[in-house]
């Protein structure tokens, strides 16, 4: 088992929120039958669901057993084409923020094409509707990721032995009990967990973990997008080697910022006021102009996320944003090469990346610096 916590970035976010009374567990208990499909086969099939449960969640435990083991917390379940999703998220009043309102309205419109009982103009997302939305978001992300990396959705590499798992808890207590019970992890922050023996790849978090800072559905969506993308990336390179830290973090930021660039898990804290800390393009352009950025050779040598401070998170997003925009067709081959087995010897990590850059993009490290600087000057105006 291996787990990847988001501890560093979320520690500060968590700090201000743990002292509040937690949300009611069942003040808005959901109806047992999904009101949008009413369990009718034609709608269930149309929206691409396999089941609302019970189904096997981990070896030896069905979704019903998980609910029992977590102390009766009301969890809703759905199995989509590529995901198994559990949610105890509470109902949500859509924020007055117009960006969020427009985003959710567009999502509901797409969903209503499959599920006519869904209405786009609502002010509140009930618990079932949140589950449907996250199911749609997960599948749309899967499709986009497959396109971005040139991978067929059904030809294997993106899927673990079991479907990807997504567990969205309302409360930190449910999340903590789940991580202890099923992964023996004393976790306080959102986690990605790979269980090779069970063939599962999981992302789990609690909405309460974001409450004090980014207390809205869009921020949760951005966090899920980042984390699921990183899980997909981990599947893309399969049993080879983890992608380099600059690349993984950059890819995570790309998918998070596509949801809404205001809600970076890492990166905002040391970049000034909340009003504009998220606005990275002009900040990157200014730093590039002043020569304040790590060179490609420096980036290639990083081995842990701890080597990235907040401004560096911003800068690696800029690097990967460039690769997505200018070399989109070559991302898949690049990942394959960059995660290939390490050659022996000192400097092998850097050598493998240099070779991958050269073979996939025809870029030497110094060329990457120059090409990126030119692109930043043009694209981040």
Partner 1 sequence: MRVGAAPRLVTSAQLLDIDWNYPIDLAAGAEETGRTVAQKERRALPRDEALRALAGDDRRPLLVLRECMVCAGTDEALLTSGADNEKTLLLMRWFHCVKLPPDTSENPNSPFHALFPDNDSAHLFVSRWDGGDLVPLEDETSRTALWKSMTSLLDSSYEGSTRTPLKALAKLLDEYDRLDIELAQERAQAVKLIEKYGSDSSKLRKVERALEALATERAELDAQVRELTELELRAAEPTAAR
**Residues forming the site for partner 1 (CB under 8 A):** 12, 14-27, 58-61, 65, 68-73, 171-173, 176-177, 180-182, 197-198, 211-212, 215, 270-273, 283, 286-287, 290-292, 311
Cβ 264 vs Cβ 214: under 8 Å: no
Contact 160, 199 (CB under 8 A): yes
Cα–Cα distance for residue pair 32/128, rounded to 1 Å:
10
Nearest distance, CB of residue 360 and partner 1, angstroms: 31
* Distance in Å, CB of 235 to partner 1, minimum: 19
H/E stretch holding 83 reads: strand 83-87
CB of 317 to partner 1, least distance (A): 16
Q: Residue 19 or residue 239: which is nearer to partner 1 going by CB?
A: 19
State the residue for tokens 């951005």: 222
Residue number with CB closer to partner 1 (73 or 259): 73
- Of 13 and 356, which CB lies nearer to partner 1 in the complex structure? 13
Which residue lies nearer to partner 1 by CB, 7 or 176?
Answer: 176
In the structure encoding, which two tokens stand for residue 185, read together? 């992890």
**Choice between 20 and 119, CB closer to partner 1:** 20
Long-range CB pairs of 155-161 (<8 Å, 24+ gap) are 157/235, 157/236, 157/238, 158/82, 158/232, 158/235, 158/236, 159/82, 159/235, 160/199, 160/200, 160/201, 160/235, 161/198, 161/199, 161/200
Alpha carbon distances (Å) from 211 to 159, 179, 242, 344:
31, 20, 31, 46
- Radius of gyration in angstroms for the set of CA atoms belonging to the chain, rounded to a whole number: 21
Q: DSSP characters for 96-153?
A: S-HHHHHHHHHHHHHHHHH-TT--TT-SEE-HHHHHHHHHHHHHHHHHHHHHHTT--T
Question: First CA to last CA across the chain, in angstroms?
Answer: 44
Compute the least distance from the CB of residue 16 to partner 1, in Å.
4
Q: How far is the CB of 280 from partner 1 (least distance, A)?
A: 11
The nearer residue to partner 1, 1 or 33, going by C-beta atoms, is 1
Minimum CB separation from partner 1 for residue 250, in Å?
A: 20
Closest CB to partner 1 among 24 and 106? 24
Q: Return d(Cα 323, Cα 48) in angstroms, integer.
A: 33
Q: 3-class SS at 184?
A: coil
Task: Report the nearest approach of partner 1 to the CB of residue 63 (Å).
Answer: 12
Query: At closest approach, how far in Å is the CB of 316 from partner 1?
Result: 17
Tell the smallest beta-carbon distance from residue 183 to partner 1 (Å): 11
Question: Quick one: 16 or 120, whose CB is closer to partner 1?
Answer: 16
The token pair that represents 14 in the structure block: 């968590």
What is the phi-psi region of residue 156: left when phi exceeds 0, alpha when psi lies from -120 to 50, beta otherwise? left
Comparing CB distances to partner 1, the nearer of 142 and 280 is: 280
Q: Backbone dihedral region of 102: left (phi > 0), alpha (psi from -120 to 50 degrees) or beta? A: alpha
Number of Cβ within 10 Å of residue 83's Cβ equals 21
Count of alpha carbons within 13 Å of 95, Cβ hemisphere only?
12
Give the residue with the Cβ less far from partner 1, 136 or 189: 189
We find the least distance from the C-beta atom of residue 161 to partner 1, in angstroms, to be 10
């Amino acid at each position: 088992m291996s787990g990847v916590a988001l501890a560093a970035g979320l520690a500060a976010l968590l700090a201000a929120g743990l002292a509040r009374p937690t949300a009611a567990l069942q003040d808005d208990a959901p109806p047992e039958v999904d009101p949008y499909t009413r369990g009718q086969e034609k709608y269930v099939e149309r929206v691409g669901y396999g089941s609302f449960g019970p189904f096997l969640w981990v070896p030896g435990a069905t979704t019903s057993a998980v609910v029992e083991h977590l102390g009766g917390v009301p969890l809703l379940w759905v199995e989509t084409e590529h995901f198994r999703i559990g949610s105890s998220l509470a109902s949500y009043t859509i924020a007055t923020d117009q960006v969020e309102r427009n985003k959710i309205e567009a999502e509901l419109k797409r969903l209503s094409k499959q599920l006519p009982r869904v209405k786009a103009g609502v002010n509140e997302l009930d618990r079932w509707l949140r589950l449907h939305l996250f199911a749609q978001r997960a599948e749309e992300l899967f499709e986009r990721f497959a396109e971005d990396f040139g991978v067929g959705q059904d030809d294997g590499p993106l899927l673990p032995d079991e479907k990807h798992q997504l567990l969205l808890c309302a409360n930190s207590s449910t999340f903590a009990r789940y991580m202890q019970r099923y992964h023996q992890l004393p976790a306080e922050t959102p986690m990605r967990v790979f269980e090779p023996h069970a063939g599962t790849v999981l992302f789990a978090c609690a909405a309460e973990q974001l409450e004090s800072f980014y207390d809205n559905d869009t921020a949760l969506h951005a966090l899920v997008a980042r984390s699921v993308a990183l899980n997909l990336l981990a599947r893309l390179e399969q049993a080879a080697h983890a992608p380099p830290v600059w690349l993984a973090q950059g890819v995570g930021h790309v998918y998070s910022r596509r949801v809404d660039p205001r809600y970076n898990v890492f990166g905002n804290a040391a970049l000034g006021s909340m009003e504009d800390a998220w606005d990275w393009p002009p900040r990157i352009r200014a730093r590039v102009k002043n020569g304040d950025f790590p060179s490609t050779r420096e980036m290639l040598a990083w081995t842990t996320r701890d080597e990235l401070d907040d401004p560096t998170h911003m800068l690696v997003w800029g690097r990967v944003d460039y690769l997505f925009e200018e070399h989109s067709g070559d991302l898949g081959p690049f990942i394959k090469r960059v995660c290939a087995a390490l050659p022996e010897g000192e400097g092998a990590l850097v050598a493998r990346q240099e070779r991958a850059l050269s073979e996939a993009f025809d870029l030497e490290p110094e060329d990457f610096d120059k090409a990126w600087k030119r692109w930043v000057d043009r694209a981040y105006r």
